[in-house]
Amino acid sequence: MKKTTALTLAATAAVATTLGLSGCTTDADTASYNLSQAAEQFEIERRITVTTGFANEVALQVEGRCSVESADSFLAGALEITCKIGPDRYAKHFVVKGDNDIVTIQQTETVDVSVYHHRVLIKPENLLPEFDYEAGEQ
């Protein structure tokens, strides 16, 4: 009976330790996450540069408040770059990476992101669906 209790306590301690360690995040993880969130909200200035490996020349350079994501649509292995260029104006670029191309994404300004608090972004336009209402004669 004592052996079973000891095994149960050891198993419980192992599970608790595993769960405790898997939930640990460092300040660097938190800051990285906060920077990524700010970039997706077009709050961070970036420079995206595509360099060709064969000619070792800059093929494309985009600067501004840009979001960079993998293009999951029709272009396999492409990058989708969306930049905010005005209050309600956006531009989209696609970069199809070749075998020898190098893409660098640089943050061009420092940004103060706190590791001590979080923020919640609520966009009402994403909560309420856009719908068309038609009223006809009866």
Output the pLDDT for position 54: 80
pLDDT of residue 9: 43
Full-model pTM: 0.63
10 Å CB burial of residue 28 (0-12, 13-18, 19+) is exposed
**Higher-pLDDT residue of 10, 128:** 128
Strands (DSSP E) found in the chain: 45-51, 58-71, 78-86, 89-96, 102-107
pLDDT of 77-119, one tens digit each?
788 899 999 988 999 988 888 788 888 888 888 887 777 766 6
At residue 63, the pLDDT reads 93
Hey, what's the torsion of the CAs at 23, 29, 32, 34, to 10 degrees? 50
pLDDT-based confidence at residue 23 (cuts at 50, 70, 90) = low
pLDDT tens digits, one per residue of 39-89: 888 989 999 999 988 888 898 899 999 999 887 766 667 888 999 999 889
Written as six digits, the tokens of 1 are 């009976």
Domain residue spans in the chain?
43-111
Q: Among 100, 106, 116, 101, which Cα is nearest to 31's?
A: 116
